[in-house]
Amino acid sequence: MSKAFTKESDAAGDDDDDSPSLPALPKGSRNYMTPAGYARLRTEFMQLLDVERPKIVEIVSWAAKNGDRSENGDYLYGKKRLREIDRRLRFLTKRLDIAEVVDPSAHHGSDQIFFGATVTYANAKGEERTITIKGIDESDSLSGEVSWVSPIARTLLKAREGDELQLITPVGVEVIEVIEVRYPEPGPA
């Protein structure tokens, strides 16, 4: 179908600012991050801005000089990739602008659970699990990292070693006990 007969709103769907890969922040909350998580997002931002985007712009510019753009794969795919990069850059800019970097090592030695804690807890059956509470943009459930807004993290926050808590799960309420709380050691000043 010719582009002349499509609605502009059909093409506008390609330029959404939200990345589908990361969850939205709760309304009115801060974007807490560990220093390592902030550095990782900042590195990705700089890589896209300084390396990938200029490379794609160069390819698109070269392809545009080759004539008919409607059947030029390098031009079409380059423009699509450029939109993807720009969308990710907008997303990262928004997230980095509202980021609040919290150093979990400030709580080293504490037995109370705050952002950045690595917590070992056990359920009523005695099954232990260890998780680390991190920011929304940096948590990885496969590595035992959970977002600070997840149900388990919200249940654990402000609790102490030895506390018994009630975790609300899809199958009902589960009683868990905090076994151990750890924080990373402070780095050299």
CATH classification of the domain holding 92: 1.10.287.180
CATH number of the domain encompassing residue 137: 3.10.50.30
- Its pTM surpasses 0.85: no
Domain total in the chain? 2
Expressed as residue numbers, the domain containing 160 is: 104-182
Q: What distance in Å separates the CA atoms of residue 112 and residue 109, rounded to the nearest whole number?
A: 9
Residues with Cβ < 8 Å from 140, sequence gap 6 or more?
Answer: none
Q: Is residue 18 part of a domain?
A: no
* One-letter amino acid of 47: Q
pLDDT tens digits for 132-141? 999 999 999 8
Beta strands per DSSP E along the chain: 31-33, 99-101, 118-123, 128-134, 145-147, 164-169, 172-182
Question: Given 83, 101, 119, which residue is the final one in a domain?
Answer: 101
Residue 62: inside a domain, yes or no?
yes
| DSSP H or E run through 175 | strand 172-182
Total count of residues recorded for the chain: 189
Whether residue 1 is contained in a domain is answered as no
CB burial string 12-44: b at 16+ within 10 A, e below: eeeeeeebeeeeebeeeeebbbbeebbeebeee
180: number of Cβ within 10 Å: 14
Strand partners, 172: 169
Enclosing H/E stretch for 118: strand 118-123
Residue 169 has pLDDT above 80, yes or no: yes
Give me the mean pLDDT over the 62-82 stretch. Answer: 84
Report the pLDDT value the prediction gives residue 189, as an integer from 0 to 100.
57
Asked if 117 contacts 183 with a C-beta cutoff of 8 angstroms, the reply is: yes
pLDDT score at 1: 46
Q: Among 101, 121, 154, where does a domain finish?
A: 101
- 109 and 153, same structural domain? yes
- On whether the CB atoms of residues 131 and 117 are closer than 8 A, the answer is no
Do strands 31-33 and 128-134 pair parallel, antiparallel, or not at all (unpaired)? unpaired
| Confidence category of residue 152, pLDDT binned at 50, 70, 90 | very high
Check pLDDT > 60 for residue 7: no
Query: Tokens at residue 14, please?
Result: 């390609």
Token pair, residue 155, equals 């249940």
